[in-house]
Every structure is written in structure tokens, then in C-alpha cells.
Structure 1
């Protein structure tokens, strides 16, 4: 009997040669256009400077990075693009699942730019559309239980989307695409403990990498791990509490048509409150302005305080998950855009004071895209505004003009004239589609860049041993070494077996299920990282750990797992050493690894 992933792979490979419905093609184009615009808009943020510096340490390559001058190895370019596209939380959202599918599939295209740069637009958009669709269908099939349990569904389902986009462009048949999907489902990552840190945008970036690797492994003829979706230790059992609707995977309905685009750079559930605050703001002028506000009350869906109830965020990333901050920004600024989430504004006395006044009235009957805001002033006046359906929702989607205006605000400040060029490139149907997209958003080298700077970068760059660790781990497993010992040795040889066993015991799983965690521990010890950097590396390893595994065994399967785990562990240690931020409690936080996966008493 065929598995659900087998049936999905056969559906996609059977239908991808057929022309897409016109409305699906346009939805795919808008999703791609928006995701590239958000990637460029975040390209010069400090977080992306950190990411680019860390990844350049693995060696320079030929991969174009939207909005930046660096050239990276293809998979590193994919990782950085996925992070950038989701960094400002300004990308697309499928409201039924809360998946942000565009970032992952755009990153997959960037990762394959050398292979597919000259392909025509129809082929690229078709593969992109099916990649978006695959992750959305997977998400719907396990919703709402999976997300509600504490997993970041963009990362856990996103790898499957990247595998489909890449797999179609690599010419995989149904059997090979099934194998790619098996690896991608096992490689999905991300829990919600990381929200408010750089770890959240890391999820779609790394999901793209894992999906790409899955497709490349399948194309190379490597065996699959078996049923990673519905097997006894698969996604459904480990991450969704057994909830699964297999019919969703192979139905006729296009979930892509329900993808939406954000008017504000923050968590989607905050949008109705921001819109209401913007509507109230003009009336404040006749009553003394924002300084006259004495109380703020928001009637909203219960998810609003649960997901975004942080009242006093410390920086712009945390503020994106603070509805109180969104309200403050709406009352203080003419328009809530990226400036409303600049850290200087977030920590300003005016914003802090208004946030402290916000009270939430969680109302189960209130729709997710609705809210009612009441603002009380010192003269007794109460200003109210109700949002029935927020801008950007399915009921009030952004128009093409609004989407272009958003892209102009993001892209043109980084690449002058880039938004119009990107729009034109996204509509091009002929050959060179991906090349034209990347040309539209490629940053020029600084005017003072010269050979001296290039030589200085070369001397400063020390290539870290990520690929060497991967190759060594695979060799050791092929030679008969235990996979756990192999990844520990390959990633640095640190004495970490006891630490790994301790976590495995808490999770009640074999230590071999924690290969990325083990590799990270080893790399941290081998590099002698200080405690702060070690915690950051631990956070990145923890967010990549789900303990999902397939039903197949064998040396080849074990070697693939070990190679990727060793590489990911070294990468986590390097990013941690560079200051990549993670949650304070990646293991024991409310939605941390131990909290999500430890057996219940």
C-alpha cells in the first residue's frame, strides 16, 4: 500500500507538466515577488550582517544574495535568503495554517541559481507554485493541533515545500520525489520558543536548506528514510498528536489561492489592532495627542494575547510579537512600517508608556482578523474603532497597487529602482527568469570597494570545516562506526556523550535521534566557546531537533543523517559564536525542546 507521501509525489509529478490555472500562476508570482521584496528590505539589517559574515567564513562562492554584495555557496545563499525574507515578519501568510511559504521556496530558487538561472518563467513559477502548495497542504493536514502544540509550522512543513520546488527543477520522477519528501519531512525544524529572536527567521532559511539537500540527495540516488510522516516515529505521531487528514494532500483545492500579504511588518494577529490604532490616531490631535491617553483596551481573538502578549519588548525583533507595541506605534506614527519596529523607537519612553496602558479582552467570538480598540483620554473622552476584517486578510487582500507600494518601500532604499525591475522580472515568461530576478535585486559594490578590500576579506576569512565534518561523518559511518560517535568525532571530537545521553533520557529517545544536538555540543567544546556563545549554539541545535525519523534503516541512510547532522552542528556553533540570537531557555522554555517532547507523567 502506498504512503501519503508517495501519493503526494505522484500527484505532483503527474500534474506539474500541465498548465497552471491563471489565478494560481498569478498567486505564485505575487508570493514570489513579495518574498523577494522582503528579503531585499531586510538585507542590510544588523542580523543579516552577522549572518553574511558567519557564512562567508565557510568560504566564498558564486551565489548571489539579494540586496547584498557577498557571494556565497549556493546552500548558504539559500539559508541567508530565507532568513532575510522572514526577518522583519513582513512576508506572506496562509491564514488557516499561519505558514509563511514564500520565504522557503524563494530561498530554494536562490540555492539552485547556478542550475536554473536560464530556465523559463513558466517552468520556474510552476515548480515554485507546487512547492508552496505542498507545504500548505501538509500544514492543513495536521492543523490546528501541530501549531497549537508549540511547533513553528513554517519550518516544520517548509522543508517539504523546498524539496518539491527543487525536486521538480532537478527533474525527479515520482519515486525520487517521494524520497526527497521523506527526507524533508524528517528534516523539518522549528519550535515557537524562538519567536522574538533571530531563531524564528532561521527556521524558513534552514528549512530551505534541508529541502534542497533532500532533493539533491534523491537526485544523487541515495535511499530514503522510509515513512517519516505517518510511521510510528513520524511527523504525525511526534509533532501533531496523531492528527492527520490524508485527503488534504491529494485534493483538488489550491491552498495557494488563500495566501495573503502583510501590510505591517509583524505577527499577523497584531494587524487588526494596529489598523484600529492608526484609525484612532487622527482624533487624538484635538485632545492633546498621545500624551493624553490614560487607558487602552483591546477586544480580540484569544490568540492575540497568547502569541503576542509581550508588553515591554526589548528590541525590534521582540516587538514584532507585541500587540501592545503595535497599538503604541499606531497611535504615535502616521503609518506603521519598518520604522515602527526600529529598536530606538521600541525602547522610547513614549512607546513604553503607551504599551503599559494596554489591557486585552480575549473574546472567543472575535475573528482572528478583527478587533475593537477603546482609547480613554485624560478629559474623559473614549475613542473607539472596530476592524471587522484587517487589511491584508482574505476578506480585504492587498491590491496589486498596494503590493507594489510595499515593495517600493522595501526594495528601492536598498537597490534604487529595484522594485520596478523586480516587478517586471517577475512577469517575464521567457528564459533567464531566475537570473533576471536576481539581477533586479543585486546590490552594487560600494564605490570605495577595491582590490585592497578584497584582499583584506580574503586574509580575514578562515574557512571553517563544515563540509569536511560532513564528509568525515559519512566516512566513519560507512566504515562501521556508530552514527552518534561518528558525528561527535567529525564535528570536533569534544567529550559530550554524557550530555547527549542526559537529554536523550529526558526525551525518552535513543541518543541517535539527537545527532544534530550531539554534533553541536562537540563543535562547541572543540572551539572552546564561552557560555554565552554555547547557549546560542545550543538554541540553534534545539530548534533543529524534532526526533522525527523514518522506518528505513541501513548504512547508507545512517551515513546521510550523520553527514547532515555534522554539518548542521558545526554551522550552529559558528553562528552562535558570531552572536546569532536564540531564546533564553531553548530547552526548558514553555515551547522549548524538553517542554514539547518530554513524555508526560
Structure 2
């Protein structure tokens, strides 16, 4: 007896999503979504500035430079321009390299990194207004996060790096919108993206993670450009019998891609990070910083530390033996040590130098294996510290900074932008760039703004 052929789920889903992108109008995007998208893009450029001088980005830039076909697009924080696909790759990697970019609640996708660099690169190859760019960006983020909803949590739990695997579809959608592709061409772009979608959680803590994120941006841009050139894709790249949803997830929920499409915006579930590390560490750091401010606390007296949080905290950040700053970004032990010892948790605290600091290493060794509780949400954590003098400290964080319950303010985002510019690219006029980005919606030509993201030669 022959085995039944696999069947599509939600037939026509990919085409309906392509039609949504094609027919979407800026006037139909609600004001809160427009504002949130502007903040996301502003935050993304800031994180790219901070990451622009990181060794991982410098190595990637040097590896790709000989193969760049022209110099049409800005590499944020660098003097030299590259072709649009290369600039998109490097800017995506820079935005995400410190794990300081935004996070979508529910999927933990970092949607700005694979999407924003694509529209920024295209905006330097043709006239694009700020409103046009933001609209394409909104659509790209929406596509990314909705596809992520349909495969969460199983996709990430299996080891797929969801920012990269879903981000390439959002990058393709955003590029397609700016390129004014037809519905059929957008469908092909999704197909071309599906042929490239990849990325593994195994790469977290290594430069290869940045390769995955950069590839999602570049691949999405190329997917749209190839569709524009007539490169056809399958008619059901998402929902097909062997399409993205069924191949990369055991129990996909395709209905989540379309539910509320155009009325309930996933963009608004995007959170901004106060610390350059995995989102699961935000409440841990918040709790530690609050504890450190207690007048009777001294890190010198700490005997052992216990942390309790959600299961994802242990699954992704129970890493006591880190040796690099990249690994430290996903280490609860390191985050706890620097927060309690230094009272800070900025980019410098997750560097190679911070990881090798003898005092940080000693305190890191006093953190016990992470305890978990299914009832604890991602934005909460509990810290318990025993000291050599017999004292004991307890601290909790129920709603981490940057979570929907405690979002970062515009002032905090601007300070974050300035601090990252000072850290990664002090040669640019960060204030002027920030002001122009904040007024992006009124800009007639985005290319003029991107010039401010390059240091003067």
C-alpha cells in the first residue's frame, strides 16, 4: 500500500500574504504602529553603530570587501561603502552582534536586524522617502513575526535560529514593497526566500550567528531582486506539502499568519532591550542591579548565588564556563557577576576583557545552576544571595525593563543610541544622526540621512 502524499496546509496562504504586502497602504497603518516602527528603526541604527567596530564585524567586512560590486550603500559606522547586498549583510550583523536589538514578544525574534538594513540599502540606490521606507519596514517586520507566530515555540525549541529563518521572508517582503513588485513577483520572492531560509541556535555565542542574521537580510534582498528579474518560486512556499511551515515545524499553526492581518499589528509586540544580551537575562540583570544598590550589600562577601526563572532561561543561558564576550551575551552566570560586581550591564561588560576579568570570573563561579519554574514568565526572575557573614539577600523582578509592562522611554532610547555610538563609532556626529532619524517620517530622501552614519574620512 502506497504512503499518502503530503498535503498543503491553508492552501493559498503565501499568495494571500503576498497580496497583503502588495495592496498595503501607508494611510492604513495606525499611528501607534508608525511610531513604534520609527523607534525600532532608530534603535536598530544605534545597535549597528555600537557593533560596527566589533571584531566579528571587522572580520566579516574584510572577508566580503573584495567581492562587493560597487559602492552604492552605507555600512553603518564605516567609511567605505559597499554594494547593497553586502551593506545589508554587514548592517544586519552589526545590529544583532551584541544581542542589543529589539525582540518580538512570544517568538523572541529580533525583527529589525534582518529587515531594516534591506530598506536602508535600497534607499541609497533609488529615491525613497522616509514614509515609504517606514511602510516597507513595517510590512517586513509584520511578515517576519507572523510567520514566527505560526511555528513557535516548536521551531526554536528544535534548534532553528528563528530571527534568521523567519527574517529572510520579512526582508524579502520589505524589499518587494520598495521595488513595487507585483503580487506574483512577491510570491516568487517568498519562494526564493524559502530556498535560503536557515540559521541554527547552535551558533549562539559565536560569530557564525551574525553570519546567519546577515544572510537573512542579504538573502531577502536578493530574493526580491531575483523575483523582479523573473526568477520564479513555488506557488506555496510557506504552506506547501514540503514548504517552510511543515518542514521546519512539527505542529505549525498557519492560521496565526492571517489572524488579524492588517488590523492587529505584531509590530506593537516588539520590545527594546536595555542590556546587550539575550532577552531572558533582562529580568536577571534588573534584579541584580536592584540588589547591588542595597546599602548593606557587598559583592566581596558573596558565598553563592541562586537564580530562578523561566525554562528558557536555563535552556539558553545556563553557561558558567564562558571564554568570550560573544558567549557572555547568553550566560546568566556572567550577567549576574558583572551586574553585582560593577553595577553596570553595558556593551563593555559583555566584552572579552570583562569575561577574563579575575574578579568577574571569581563571582561567576559562585552562581549555582539555574533553577526553573514553568509558571515564571520570560520577563521575570528571582535572585537569592548568601554571604560569608551569614547575611542573605532576596530580590525579584516581575516585569523587566524593556518588557511591555515597562517599555523603554524615548529618552532612554536616545541615551542608549548615544552610548552605543560613543562605544562603537565615536567619530560620527551621533546627535545629528539621531535628530535626522527621529524626524525620518518627514524626510524626502533617506540617502542623505545614511551619509551621517559614516565617519568623515
Q: TM-score range by the shorter chain?
A: over 0.9
In the TM superposition, 1:327-476 aligns within 5 A as: 327-359=336-368, 360-413=370-423, 414=425, 415-445=427-457
- Which residue is 1:27 aligned to? 36
Are 2:297 and 1:282 equivalent residues in the alignment? no
- Which residue is 1:192 aligned to? 201
- Provide the rounded CA distance (Å) in 2 between the counterparts of 1:142 and 1:180: 20
SS at 1:270 equivalent: helix
Following superposition, the deviation at residue 248 of structure 1 comes to 2.7
**Which residue, 87, 90, 99 being the options, matches 2:97?**
87
Following superposition, the deviation at residue 74 of structure 1 comes to 1.5
**Which residue, 324, 329, 332 being the options, matches 1:320?**
329
Structure 1: unaligned runs, 5 residues or longer: 446-601
Following superposition, the deviation at residue 256 of structure 1 comes to 0.3
SS at 1:408 equivalent: helix
Whether contact under 8 Å (1:11, 1:250) holds in the other structure is no
Q: Which moved more, 1:422-431 or 1:264-273?
A: 422-431
Whether contact under 8 Å (2:205, 2:330) holds in the other structure is yes
- Which residue is 1:41 aligned to? 50
TM-score, structure 2 length as denominator? 0.93
- Which residue is 1:140 aligned to? 149
In the TM superposition, 1:493-572 aligns within 5 A as: none
The ranges of structure 1 where at least 4 consecutive aligned residues each deviate by more than 6 angstroms after the TM superposition are none
Whether contact under 8 Å (1:159, 1:188) holds in the other structure is yes
- Which residue is 1:13 aligned to? 22
Following superposition, the deviation at residue 328 of structure 1 comes to 0.4
- Root mean square deviation, CA, Å: 1.7
Following superposition, the deviation at residue 226 of structure 1 comes to 3.4
Whether contact under 8 Å (2:172, 2:190) holds in the other structure is yes
Whether contact under 8 Å (2:428, 2:452) holds in the other structure is no
**Which residue, 66, 81, 102 being the options, matches 2:76?**
66
- Cα gap change, 1:412 to 1:60, in 2 (>3 Å): farther
- Provide the rounded CA distance (Å) in 2 between the counterparts of 1:299 and 1:32: 33
- Provide the rounded CA distance (Å) in 2 between the counterparts of 1:60 and 1:411: 28
SS at 1:196 equivalent: coil
In the TM superposition, 1:176-215 aligns within 5 A as: 176-215=185-224
Q: Which moved more, 1:32-41 or 1:220-229?
A: 220-229
Higher relative contact order structure (alpha carbons within 8 Å, sequence separation ≥ 6): 2
Q: Which moved more, 1:229-238 or 1:205-214?
A: 229-238
- Provide the rounded CA distance (Å) in 2 between the counterparts of 1:436 and 1:136: 30
- Which residue is 1:273 aligned to? 284
Q: Which moved more, 1:274-283 or 1:394-403?
A: 274-283
Following superposition, the deviation at residue 18 of structure 1 comes to 3.5
Q: Which moved more, 1:8-17 or 1:73-82?
A: 8-17
Q: Alpha-carbon deviations, 1:395-440, whole Å to 9, x = none?
A: 1110111111101101244144314423433423345442133122
- Cα gap change, 1:2 to 1:364, in 2 (>3 Å): closer
- Provide the rounded CA distance (Å) in 1 between the counterparts of 2:351 and 2:440: 35
Q: What count of residue pairs does the alignment treat as equivalent?
A: 442
SS at 2:205 equivalent: coil
Are 2:260 and 1:248 equivalent residues in the alignment? no
Q: Alpha-carbon deviations, 1:470-492, whole Å to 9, x = none?
A: xxxxxxxxxxxxxxxxxxxxxxx
Whether contact under 8 Å (1:104, 1:158) holds in the other structure is yes
Whether contact under 8 Å (1:264, 1:337) holds in the other structure is yes
SS at 1:376 equivalent: strand
- Provide the rounded CA distance (Å) in 2 between the counterparts of 1:198 and 1:99: 18
Whether contact under 8 Å (2:271, 2:402) holds in the other structure is yes
Structure 2: unaligned runs, 5 residues or longer: 1-9
Q: Which moved more, 1:135-144 or 1:9-18?
A: 9-18
- Which residue is 1:220 aligned to? 229
Q: Which moved more, 1:309-318 or 1:64-73?
A: 64-73
Following superposition, the deviation at residue 113 of structure 1 comes to 3.5
- Which residue is 2:248 aligned to? 239
- Provide the rounded CA distance (Å) in 1 between the counterparts of 2:119 and 2:219: 13
Report which of the two structures shows the higher radius of gyration computed on alpha carbons.
1
- Provide the rounded CA distance (Å) in 2 between the counterparts of 1:41 and 1:32: 14
Q: Alpha-carbon deviations, 1:364-393, whole Å to 9, x = none?
A: 111111011111111111111110100000
Whether contact under 8 Å (1:38, 1:407) holds in the other structure is yes
Whether contact under 8 Å (1:122, 1:429) holds in the other structure is yes
- Provide the rounded CA distance (Å) in 1 between the counterparts of 2:310 and 2:280: 8
SS at 2:27 equivalent: coil
Q: Which moved more, 1:241-250 or 1:82-91?
A: 241-250
- Provide the rounded CA distance (Å) in 2 between the counterparts of 1:279 and 1:108: 39
- Provide the rounded CA distance (Å) in 2 between the counterparts of 1:56 and 1:126: 30
